[in-house]
């Protein structure tokens, strides 16, 4: 079996590459990634030593390049992680989000049609459902919740989902879609809440919390996401959408305070800054379908996952210090300088 993973040099994609190489030692895993600011080849250093792994530095919008890879590698399964993934950047400049997340998805599915595959899996997000009110804890996103996007990022991901469904219905492409809640864990790019707070706290820098920090996210350890995708690509029903989430809702401010406590840093580092435009209030996934149909349940409790994550950032300072010393500084200044 050959599994082609796009975006495998990013956060979740790289965790998935390692998960698959370990779980299926007889599979080939092919990674296609154009190494944007969020992609890091050093993340794949160990994978690159594995004879069952191959890496192509190619943009998913590059039709010719993608078709060449398909002709050579003949993948059985394609898992599309590649995307522009940061909401704040999409508010700053939506265009690249539309190009990569929508047109890139189209190129990947066209290649699947041209060369034939057993399964195309689209890694989507719970953000396509918009948000839930803070005062209705009884409400959750199900697969039937209408698409109702807030940011250019979520609009681009929702557009891609619609295209995937259209390719399934019109061309019989064997597709599945997963919509997961917020992930955390190793190799998480330090522009996102949890790794940003860990990196800033370790450097005794201010911890910028948007608005009042009351917004709620539903956090899932990245390995549990990988396990869910593994189940879907092997046992999921073609044409279906699966929500993935672990009923682990937390307010941003509580996450930041917890990180301060774990790192023995004072809460006086916290700064309440101007809110994100269009900021979604609450995400909360109902994972009943994937549990009932595929037997998936999250295995890592947040209390353990956050310790594993903090420990990883403490042991891998080179990885994130390299990132925050480069182009990231300009980004940080633009995003937080006058907030």
Q: How far is CA 284 from the centre of its chain?
A: 16
Catalytic positions are 126-127, 153
- Of 33, 218, 223, 230, which one interacts with ligand NAD (CB under 6 A)? 33
Give the interface segment with ligand NAD, choosing from 180-188, 281-289, 300-308, 328-336 (CB under 6 A): 180-188
Beta partners for 208? Answer: 271
Residues 112 and 110: their CA atoms lie apart, in Å, by 5
| Alpha carbons 168 and 1: distance in angstroms, whole number | 22
With contacts defined by CB under 6 A, how many residues of the chain interact with ligand NAD?
30
Stretch that binds ligand DAU, among 47-55, 137-145, 160-168, 202-210 (CB under 6 A): 202-210
- Choice between 168 and 183, CB closer to ligand NAD: 183
Is residue 123 part of the contact set for ligand NAD (CB under 6 A)?
yes
Give bridge partners of residue 184 from the DSSP assignment.
221
Cα distances (angstroms) measured from residue 307 to each of 88, 168, 303, 311: 27, 41, 7, 6
Residue 185: strand, helix, or coil:
coil
Q: Which does 252 bind (CB under 5 to 8 A by kind): ligand DAU, ligand NAD, none?
A: ligand DAU
- Partner that binds at residue 215, options ligand DAU, ligand NAD, none, CB closer than 5 to 8 Å by kind: ligand DAU
* Residue 4 per-residue DSSP state: E
Cα→Cα distances 30→82, 155, 315, Å: 13, 28, 28
- Pick one of 215, 248, 300, 309: the residue that binds ligand DAU (CB under 6 A): 215
Contact partner, 209, from ligand NAD, ligand DAU, none, Cβ < 5-8 Å per class: ligand DAU
Q: Which residues of the chain form contacts with ligand DAU (CB under 6 A)? A: 85-87, 125-127, 181-182, 192-193, 196, 208-210, 215, 217, 252, 276, 283
């Amino acid at each position: 079996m050959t599994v082609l993973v796009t975006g495998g040099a990013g956060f979740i994609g790289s965790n998935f590459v390692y998960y698959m190489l370990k779980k299926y030692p007889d599979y080939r895993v092919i990674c296609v990634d154009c190494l944007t600011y969020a992609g890091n080849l050093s993340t794949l250093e160990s994978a690159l030593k594995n004879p069952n792994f191959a890496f192509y530095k190619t943009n998913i919008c590059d039709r010719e390049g993608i078709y060449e890879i398909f002709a050579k590698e003949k993948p059985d399964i394609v898992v599309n992680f590649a995307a522009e993934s940061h909401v704040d950047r999409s508010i700053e400049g939506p265009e690249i989000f539309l190009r990569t997340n929508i047109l890139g998805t189209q190129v990947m599915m066209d290649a699947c049609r041209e060369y034939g595959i057993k399964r195309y899996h689209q890694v989507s997000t719970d953000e396509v459902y918009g948000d839930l009110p803070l005062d209705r804890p009884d409400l959750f996103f199900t697969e039937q919740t209408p698409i109702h996007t807030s940011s250019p990022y979520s609009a681009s991901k929702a557009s891609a989902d619609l295209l995937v469904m259209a390719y399934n219905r019109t061309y019989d492409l064997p597709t599945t879609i997963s919509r997961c809640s917020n992930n955390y864990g190793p190799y998480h790019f330090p522009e996102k809440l949890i790794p940003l707070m860990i990196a800033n706290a370790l450097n005794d820098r201010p911890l910028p919390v948007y608005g009042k920090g009351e917004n709620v996210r539903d956090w899932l350890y990245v390995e549990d996401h990988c396990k869910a995708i593994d189940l879907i690509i092997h046992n999921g029903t073609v044409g279906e959408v699966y929500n993935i989430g672990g009923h682990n809702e937390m307010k941003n401010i509580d996450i930041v305070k917890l990180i301060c406590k774990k790192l023995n840093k004072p809460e006086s580092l916290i700064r309440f800054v101007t809110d994100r435009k269009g900021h979604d209030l609450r995400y909360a996934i109902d994972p009943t379908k994937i549990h009932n149909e595929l037997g998936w349940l999250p295995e890592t409790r947040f209390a353990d996952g956050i310790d594993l994550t903090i420990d990883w950032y403490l042991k891998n300072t080179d990885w994130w210090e390299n990132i925050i010393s480069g182009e990231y500084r300009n980004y940080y200044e633009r995003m937080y300088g006058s907030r």
